Structure 1
């Protein structure tokens, strides 16, 4: 496995780059905007393909690199379903998995630091974001933070993991890089409490100054979505109302770009083909399934995804590959459901 822990000295943020092998798919956790060029250089040097960029929560101390990495690599952006960000490609929930070739991260919802905080568990290590730090815990006094909720997240989920589980936090201010669940249970001063009330009293009396970047980072990080209006101006988009009218027409092929887990949880448009976004390039290239479908039958490809971000990138790639009739559904299945479009579950 390829594993790199990267550090931003300005915000004391740890970013993690992970892949199962050289030449394979990679994901990155909690990227910082100012470090994007460094991440991309490392991806090239390690011969990796960045396919997913993940944030543990909406950050207040730095501007996320999610949008920039998406724009540079066409990767899938991922956050928890409670996120206040305008658009991310994929929203995950407790019990989901974030998959890349050869690796899988289990998704744990761990509110408390913020109401959209998540941790990710993988092969004996847990990426804790700002929920659990080394000899500390994330503050709970803004962004709908809740000390009692954080107590439940830490004591009810994280501390139930095996003692030897490696803890990789989202920040460290003392130079520590890794800990274990057992160490934190024994030596973390904020965890030496006997009740949620005692923990809440401790956290509610920290009297910390706001993060220096908070007024800039929070509003910026809430607007990281791909601007789908540019795709619409090119004439490559259809509204939900138009898309509902296309259902069942023989010259139309609706293509669902989401992953299997998303389809199972949220349902799909009846009659749509499934061609995951991660396989897009091979599917639209010469000899690919979608390329041949369009060439052999003359069908118009109409992509959709969860919120329109993946499908907007897909229609641009399809146009570049010569599928000039390709379109996408603005707003994805989220907009489709809101408009009352039919959905097939399972």
Structure 2
């Protein structure tokens, strides 16, 4: 496995690059905007293809690199379903899995630092975001934070993991790089409390100043979505209502870009062809499935995904591949459901 822990000294942020092999798919956790050049250089050096970028929560101390990496690599952006970010490609919830070739991360909802805080468990290690830090815990005094919720997340979720589980947080300000669940149980001063009330009192008396970047980072991180308006201006987008009206038309081919787990969880549209987004480039090449189907049928390919971000990128990829007769459903299945579009479950 390829594993790199990357550090931004300005914000004290750790980002993590993961892949199962050289030449394969990669995932990055908690990227920082100013480090995008470094990430892309490392991807080239390690011969990796970034397919997913994940934020553990809406950060207040740095501007996320999600949008920049999406624009540079056409990767899928991922946050928790509670996130206030305007648009990401995929929203996950507790119990889901985030997968790339050869690797799988279990999604754990661990609110408290913020109401959209998640941790990601991968085998012998857990990426705890700002929920559990090395010899500390994330503050709980803004962004709908809750000391009570954080106590539950830490004591009843994270500390239930095996003691030897490696802890990789999103931040550290002392130079520590890794800990274990067992170490934190024994030596983390904020965890030496007898009950939740003691923890709430401890957190209430920290009286920390706001992060220096908070007034810049939070608004910026709430607006990371790919702008879809330009495709609509070019006639390359269908509103959800127009897409519903086109159901059953022989000249339209609906293509679902979501992953199998998303389809099982949220349903799909009857008659849609399944072509997961990570393989879109292969599918659009001469001889590729989508290219051949479009050529054989003459139908207009209309992509859709969860929220419209992957489908917008697919339209651009199709254009670059020489397949012009495409469009996407603005807002994805989310918009489709909101206006009463029929969905097949199971």
Stretch deviating more after TM superposition (70-79 or 247-256): 247-256
* In 2: Cα distance, 1:37 partner to 1:322 partner: 29
Question: How far does residue 232 in structure 1 lie from its aligned partner after superposition?
Answer: 1.3
Pairing of 1:32-111 with structure 2 (within 5 A): 32-111=32-111
SS at match of 1:344: coil
Q: Give the corresponding residue for 2:179.
A: 179
* In 2: Cα distance, 1:13 partner to 1:345 partner: 40
Q: Give the corresponding residue for 2:150.
A: 150
What is the aligned length? 346
1:231 aligned onto 2:231? yes
SS at match of 1:91: strand
Question: How far does residue 252 in structure 1 lie from its aligned partner after superposition?
Answer: 1.1
1:321 aligned onto 2:321? yes
* In 1: Cα distance, 2:52 partner to 2:95 partner: 18
* In 2: Cα distance, 1:324 partner to 1:127 partner: 41
Pairing of 1:162-311 with structure 2 (within 5 A): 162-311=162-311
Runs (4+) off by over 3 Å: none
Q: Which runs of 5+ in 2 are unaligned?
A: none
* In 1: Cα distance, 2:222 partner to 2:269 partner: 29
* In 2: Cα distance, 1:316 partner to 1:25 partner: 21
Question: How far does residue 95 in structure 1 lie from its aligned partner after superposition?
Answer: 0.3
SS at match of 1:168: strand
Question: How far does residue 235 in structure 1 lie from its aligned partner after superposition?
Answer: 1.5
SS at match of 1:291: helix
* In 1: Cα distance, 2:10 partner to 2:282 partner: 40
Question: How far does residue 324 in structure 1 lie from its aligned partner after superposition?
Answer: 0.9
* In 1: Cα distance, 2:120 partner to 2:230 partner: 34
Deviations 1:254-312 (A, max 9, x none): 00000011111110111111100011011111001110011011111000000000000
SS at match of 2:95: coil
* In 2: Cα distance, 1:288 partner to 1:324 partner: 15
Stretch deviating more after TM superposition (320-329 or 176-185): 320-329
Q: Give the corresponding residue for 2:8.
A: 8
Deviations 1:76-99 (A, max 9, x none): 000000000000000000000000
TM-score (norm 1): 0.99
* In 2: Cα distance, 1:230 partner to 1:105 partner: 34
SS at match of 2:301: strand
Stretch deviating more after TM superposition (241-250 or 104-113): 241-250
Deviations 1:196-237 (A, max 9, x none): 111000001100000000000000000000000111122211
Question: How far does residue 250 in structure 1 lie from its aligned partner after superposition?
Answer: 1.4
Question: How far does residue 323 in structure 1 lie from its aligned partner after superposition?
Answer: 1.4
Question: How far does residue 155 in structure 1 lie from its aligned partner after superposition?
Answer: 0.4
* In 1: Cα distance, 2:149 partner to 2:199 partner: 10
* In 1: Cα distance, 2:325 partner to 2:243 partner: 14
Q: Give the corresponding residue for 2:26.
A: 26
SS at match of 1:115: coil
Q: Give the corresponding residue for 1:128.
A: 128
SS at match of 1:279: helix
Question: How far does residue 322 in structure 1 lie from its aligned partner after superposition?
Answer: 1.6
Q: Which runs of 5+ in 1 are unaligned?
A: none
* In 2: Cα distance, 1:283 partner to 1:253 partner: 15
* In 2: Cα distance, 1:306 partner to 1:282 partner: 21
